[in-house]
Amino acid sequence: MSTVPLHTQDVDSGTDLETGLTPPTPDPAPPQTLNAGGIALWLRDLAISAAASVLIITFLYQPVRVEGTSMLPRLEDSDRLFINKFVYHLSAIERGDVVVFHYPRDPEKSYIKRVIALPGDRLHIDHGTVWLNGRRLLENYVPDEYRDSRSYEEIVVPQGSFFMMGDHRSISSDSREFGPVERSLVYGKAVFVYWPAKDAGVVR
């Protein structure tokens, strides 16, 4: 590692007019080098940073890639996003959350959908219009061109389960096909798209 230059004030080497003495020239400061102790501190900080990154990815945020278009228009095929794997240990799953869960018919696969109904909710779908506890559900996240005319008979969502649907209703495979999703299968909340740049932003 190169030495660090020391910046000092200029010293007048001329005669001191008041005393008639020539001020002594100060000894130059020894060059600073990175000793063994400095290397150890640098390696320690590097190890702490690496460990913190691993812990964050392992227990808090995980990068995932979207496959398919059932969550258009917000999420496009091949979008990269972070999911928060810890948030539901501290707070409840809420209606409208975009969540990641193990596919009930094949837990090796993961799906990303929006929570439409909570445990105990009474739900039915009439030609594409979702009715929840006797009231029409306003779904601004579903553009008109992505709606469909499918119906679903009334159910009461079982305790410990959630009714999930994709925003692109006309092509989405969701709880209308495989039923409510058990809480134990949900493992993350979609929070932020980081790539590509045109899609970057918070997932709502």
Q: What is the mean pLDDT of residues 185-193?
A: 97
> Residue 6 domain-assigned?
no
Indicate the pLDDT class of residue 57, thresholds 50, 70 and 90: low
Indicate the pLDDT class of residue 34, thresholds 50, 70 and 90: low
> Residue 119 domain-assigned?
yes
> Residue 54 domain-assigned?
no
> Residue 25 domain-assigned?
no
Does residue 133 contact residue 121 with C-beta atoms inside 8 Å?
yes
- Distance, in Å, from the CA atom of 97 to the CA atom of 91, rounded to the nearest integer, reads 12
* pLDDT tens digits for range 141-183: 999 999 999 999 999 999 999 999 999 999 999 999 999 999 9
Give the count of domains, the chain: 1
* pLDDT tens digits for range 135-147: 999 999 999 999 9
Catalytic hit among 113, 161, 175, 189? 113
Single-letter amino acid code for the residue at 93: I
> Residue 36 domain-assigned?
no
Higher pLDDT residue, 59 or 5? Answer: 59
Adjacency order of strands within the sheet including 122-126? 135-136, 129-132, 122-126, 152-156
Catalytic hit among 53, 70, 91, 184? 70
> Residue 33 domain-assigned?
no
> Residue 37 domain-assigned?
no
80-112 burial, b at 16+ Cβ within 10 Å, e below that, comes to ebbbbbebbeeeebeeebbbbbbebeeeeebbb
Q: Is 198 a catalytic residue?
A: no
> Residue 123 domain-assigned?
yes
Q: What is the mean pLDDT of residues 73-88?
A: 96
Residue range of the domain that includes 133? 63-202
Here the CATH number for the domain that contains residue 184 is 2.10.109.10
Single-letter amino acid code for the residue at 198: K
Q: Is 113 a catalytic residue?
A: yes
